[in-house]
Structure 1
Amino acid sequence: EPRLEVLDAEARIFLFHNFLSRAETDHIISLAEPHLARSGVVGTSGHHGVSEVRTSKGMFLSRRQDQKISDLEERIARWTLLPVGNGEGLQVLRYSKTQKYDAHWDYFFHKEGTSNGGNRYATVLMYLADTEEGGETVFPNIPAPGGDNGPGYSECARKFLAAKPRRGDAVLFHSIRPNGELERRSLHTACPVIKGVKWSAAKWIHVGHFAMDGEKPMGLDLHPQPVHVPGCEDADDRCPGWAERGECETNGTFMIGTPENPGHCIASCQRCAQFFSDN
């Protein structure tokens, strides 16, 4: 029976049990399986490539690929209250034993990522098969209720908010907060599969219309008002001027950096939420 569960109200993370039927999950797998290839990643600079951060295989379906996919996309739109046209095509993923996807945000930190429909606003992650052990979706910035999910979860997932990969279930989470900044609690990882195989399908939904199949892309260059975050300061007094001249986009490594190696001008580039918590 379909049932909605709130995993974290403040971060707006939800689990919809039995969102897809068995016929739908089987159909998606049958469409995808002949076309699987090694999954890629997009770095903070916009570079695409293969990385050990992500070891699954995957492929993309077209939006409204067939009537069954179209019906599913309409149902996703009704749940999320976001138009079908804002979504990318479904990405179908297959994780074999030991395969995983390390912690990452679906939010883009590079300008190229927002050139078609603006940034990613929300993600619906659907599970297409039962995974015997492991493969959980974990949100490492959110502790597990009570501090421990218990022995029914893999070691990767025990201490954090997590969803088990069960056929037909779907997780909805938001990458952008109501103030327009990154939702840091949307950081998520796909734990390694320990036993069995994991099949999933991701629907990434943008702020605006996502152009596909010959449509003209519409970029949304949104600049929300910066929110003060304690501890977030520039390392150089010249940062505001550099940011005004576009250095945040052209020299992102120096200006912004990464969570592991922060840059010098995080505040002026309005990326405080990427590195600091304001909670």
Structure 2
Amino acid sequence: DSVISRIEERIARWTFLPTENGEPMKVVRYEKWQKEEPQRDYSFVTVVMYLNNVESGGETVLLRNATKKQGHDIKDDDSTVECAKKGIPVIPRRGTALLLFNLNASVAQDAFNIRRDCPVLMGEKWTAVKLVHIDSFNNDCSDMNDQCKDWAKDGECTTNAGYMLKACMKSCNEC
């Protein structure tokens, strides 16, 4: 679909990561009183796109540094006011997006990067979530040699197809 492709291209520009590093986009609908428990994503980047305005509740709360070790309780709470107080709340507004880096500078899991969605009190909440990895999500599509891009530009995909179509699948557009 061209709309999805344009969105994925924008995400690639925003994150500086190629589109093939992303998982398929997931659209989620939250009805009244639905919420998401505290979670940690194991991708490099998470992009949460808000598809509608929520009448009441439904905040995404960044629980960074909100751990029991520091005296904060991140357990379930049906009060959206209390839920939103447990971190940095992001109010869902149509057309906005939240970019979260899930790994720290040394590319290790950020132990304090946890998020949750507070209960929707009125109406419903629609989001589209895109997880993006450091490497190609479809690991079959890659180049085995750092020079593949240059060789492909020089026409080697046709001149030396026997080697190139196996070793330089990505640069030869074979996947």
TM-score, normalised with respect to structure 2: 0.69
Q: Secondary structure at the match of 2:109?
A: coil
Match for residue 98 of structure 2? 171
What's the CA shift string for 1:139-174, capped at 9, x where partnerless? 12347xxxxxxxxx7321024112111101100011
- In the alignment, the residues of structure 2 paired with residue 167 and residue 86 of structure 1 have an alpha-carbon distance, to the nearest angstrom, of 25
**Of 109, 114, 118, which residue of structure 2 is paired with 1:191?**
118
Checking the alignment, whether the CA contact within 8 Å between 1:95 and 1:199 is kept in structure 2 is yes
- Alpha-carbon distance, 1:84 to partner: 0.6
Structure 1 stretches of 4+ with a deviation exceeding 2 A read: 215-218
Does 2:21 match 1:103?
no
Does 2:132 match 1:205?
yes
2:48 counterpart letter in structure 1: L
Q: How does 1:40-51 map to 2 (within 5 A)?
A: none
- In the alignment, the residues of structure 2 paired with residue 102 and residue 159 of structure 1 have an alpha-carbon distance, to the nearest angstrom, of 13
1:122 counterpart letter in structure 2: V
- In the alignment, the residues of structure 1 paired with residue 55 and residue 65 of structure 2 have an alpha-carbon distance, to the nearest angstrom, of 24
- Alpha-carbon distance, 1:184 to partner: 2.2
**Of 182, 185, 193, which residue of structure 1 is paired with 2:109?**
182
- Alpha-carbon distance, 1:87 to partner: 0.3
Among the aligned pairs, what percent are the same residue?
43
- Alpha-carbon distance, 1:216 to partner: 2.8
Checking the alignment, whether the CA contact within 8 Å between 2:57 and 2:120 is kept in structure 1 is yes
- In the alignment, the residues of structure 2 paired with residue 133 and residue 216 of structure 1 have an alpha-carbon distance, to the nearest angstrom, of 44
What's the CA shift string for 1:108-161, capped at 9, x where partnerless? xxxxxxxxxxxx100000000000111111112347xxxxxxxxx732102411
Checking the alignment, whether the CA contact within 8 Å between 1:101 and 1:191 is kept in structure 2 is yes
Does 2:21 match 1:79?
no
- In the alignment, the residues of structure 1 paired with residue 107 and residue 33 of structure 2 have an alpha-carbon distance, to the nearest angstrom, of 36
Q: Secondary structure at the match of 1:93?
A: strand
Q: Secondary structure at the match of 2:44?
A: strand
- Alpha-carbon distance, 1:97 to partner: 0.5
Match for residue 3 of structure 2? 68
Q: Which runs of 5+ in 1 are unaligned?
A: 1-65, 108-119, 144-152, 219-279
Match for residue 93 of structure 1? 28
Structure with larger RCO (C-alpha < 8 A, sep 6+): 2
**Of 60, 73, 98, which residue of structure 2 is paired with 1:137?**
60
Q: Which has the larger radius of gyration?
A: 2
TM-score, normalised with respect to structure 1: 0.44
Match for residue 173 of structure 2? none
Q: How does 1:7-26 map to 2 (within 5 A)?
A: none
Checking the alignment, whether the CA contact within 8 Å between 1:142 and 1:161 is kept in structure 2 is no
- Alpha-carbon distance, 1:175 to partner: 0.9
- In the alignment, the residues of structure 2 paired with residue 80 and residue 141 of structure 1 have an alpha-carbon distance, to the nearest angstrom, of 20
Checking the alignment, whether the CA contact within 8 Å between 2:52 and 2:93 is kept in structure 1 is yes
- Alpha-carbon distance, 1:201 to partner: 0.5
- In the alignment, the residues of structure 2 paired with residue 204 and residue 76 of structure 1 have an alpha-carbon distance, to the nearest angstrom, of 10
Checking the alignment, whether the CA contact within 8 Å between 1:133 and 1:154 is kept in structure 2 is no
- In the alignment, the residues of structure 2 paired with residue 216 and residue 157 of structure 1 have an alpha-carbon distance, to the nearest angstrom, of 41
1:125 counterpart letter in structure 2: V
